[in-house]
Structure formats: C-alpha cells, structure tokens
Amino acid sequence: MESDTEMKLLIMGGTRFLGRQFVEAALRGGHEVTLFHRGQTGADLFPKAEHILGDRNGPMDTLRGRRWDAVVDTSAYFPDSLKASAKLLAGSVERYVFVSSISVYPEAPTIGMTEDSPLAQLTAEQLEQVYERRRQGATGAAALGEAYGGLKALCEAEVEAALPGRALIVRPGLIVGPHDSTDRFTYWVRRVARGGEVLAPADPQRGQQFIDARDLAEWMLRMTLEKRAGIYQATGPKNPLPMGAFLEACREASGSDAHFTWVKEDFLLEQKVGPWVEMPLWMPDGPGERGFMAMDCSRALGAGLSYRPVLDIVRDTLDWDRTRGDSPMAAGLKMEREQQLLAAWHAR
C-alpha cells in the first residue's frame, strides 16, 4: 500500500507473523520503520529498517529521547510490561496501536458480541499467579495459562490510561496465513493436500471466522495513516464460513483426492480428542464456543476492513508450507492418531 504521507513507525516485535506482515506492508508503503526486538527470531529480516535490540519485559532505555508518529505493539501480553512501554512512549508517539484479542471476553461469549460487550476480569490472586510463573521462567502459553484473555483486557486498559483518545486497539480472532507458527489453520491445508480419507469434525455447516495476517496488517496500516482511535474487532468473514466450504477450498487449492469423513462430536469427546489444538478449528458445541466464531465486526468493516478470498489464503499458505518440507506441525492430529480414530468411527 503506497501512501503520499510518510510515517515514522516503531514496531514492538515485528519479526514474526502479524508483526512481520505489518513491517512488510509499511516498507512497501515507503514508511520509515524501526523494530524493537530481542534479536532471537528473524534478526536478518528487513535490512532497510532500523533494528534496536532489547527486551520489552526489561529496561527499554534505548527508546528514550526518540520520536515516532505511531508505535505498533503486536507482542504485549503482560499488563505491567504494556504499562511500562505505554508510559515510556506516551510523549514520543502520536498514536499507540495495540493488538489485543477477542479472548478479552468471558469464557462463554454470545453470538454477535460487539466491542462494547463486558470483558473478562482477573482477580489479584490470578494476576499474581501469572507473574509468579513468569518469574520462575515460564514463557508463552505456560506463563499465560487460562489468564490470556484477562491479561489482554488489562493491557487494553493500560494503553488507554497512558494515551487517552490516542490508542487504536485491535481485537483479532484467529489470525492465519503464511508464517503462522501455530499451524491451527495450516494443519488443514497440509492434511487435505496429502489426500485420502480426512477426519473432519462434527458439522460441515459449523461456521468459522479467521483473518489473513496480511489483510489485518494492511488494514491496521491504513487505520494508523488515518489516525484512527478506538476499539475494533477484526476477524471475519462477516458471515462465518462453513467448515465444509473451507475444507473444499483446501481440496481445490491442492487438487488432491481428499474425501471427508465427518465424525460426530460425541465421538470426538469420547475419544478425548483435544479441541482447537489437536483438532484445529473445532470446539465442543455450546453458546460460548459458537460465540467465539460469530463476532460482530461491523465497526471494522465500516472502517474499511476487507478480506481476500479464502481460496487465495489457502493457496498462499500451501505454497509457504511446502517450503517447510515435512517439518512437524505444532497443531493437528498425528497421522497414526487420525487413522486410529477413523477405524474406531467406522467400527462404531
């Protein structure tokens, strides 16, 4: 996306997935980009950008005395860390763009929830437990545990407190596409491309929502250019995509001979199939689970959010995944496990 207005942008992170896609979009647009990261992942990316090495969970003194038009924060999970960066940069940036999550809502969101719906809350004891896990060296999901959504909600509050009226808070759902290390979407792309009988979960009409990281990044860049503020849910499509249609897109993209065996939900539960990670895009049916895949994104759509065709996302993800060879996947059924489940299903 080219722009007549060049911005100076600070990216907290910027070398993985969404941050990486945002940096690529910003550089294409001719913007001046500074990345603040630890140098542990993708340090050789973006030689035309400025790289400042540092840890957002530690001192950030190397950012003092500098000015940028906006900071884009894709890597904050802990409210104390977010408070520190927001307080430090409040006088150095015009706008703080924070990537939150639709997980900020309680465990059982209703269908059609909006940005004004109530948020999850953590007790002081729960928050202290999170910080204790972090002090003991836990990282990623092990550090966050089930507090992830509540932590993101607290982070949002810290951004708004430090930069009232100058914060753009984006709440994505499942982010997909090339360079996604979670493999929750890529599992299906690779599995269907392999062909043969594919175990598919529950109901082919069950709706799904997700957004390509490139669509999200390009929209966030436009919103930053337009100096937007406020909270926006950013997932899609507007009308959830049936799981069956998604798998058909995977088959069309690869041209495989895959055929789908739709197994009942009670069977998956009996067999102790793990929702979401072992069986990506599936969660046991219930009002809360359906709510997470049926968010109201009309505010973001009204602000110009758009989506590339699902078939294009699948094709691009497949092309990227093929560069990884037969590397193990972070999500999805192992081949032997899938065959055992299919055999048990047919025997039943």
- For residue 285, pLDDT over 90 is answered with no
pLDDT of residue 292: 85
User: How many Å apart are CA 338 and CA 333, to the nearest integer?
Assistant: 6
With pLDDT > 70 as the criterion, what percentage of the chain qualifies?
Answer: 97
Classify burial at 139, counting beta carbons within 10 Å of its beta carbon; exposed 0-12, middle 13-18, buried 19 or more: exposed
Task: Classify residue 21 as exposed, middle or buried by CB count within 10 Å of its CB (0-12, 13-18, 19+).
Answer: buried
> In the structure, what pLDDT confidence band is assigned to residue 2 with cuts at 50, 70 and 90?
low
Q: What residues does 167 pair with on adjacent strands?
A: 96
What confidence score (pLDDT) does residue 108 get?
A: 65
Q: What pLDDT, in 10s, does the model give residues 42-57?
A: 889 999 999 999 998 8
pLDDT category at 4 given cuts 50, 70, 90 is low
**Higher-pLDDT residue of 110, 160:** 160
Pairing of strands 93-99, 167-172: parallel
- 197-232 confidence digits (pLDDT tens): 999 999 999 999 999 999 999 999 999 999 999 999
Banded pLDDT at 343 (limits 50, 70, 90) = very high
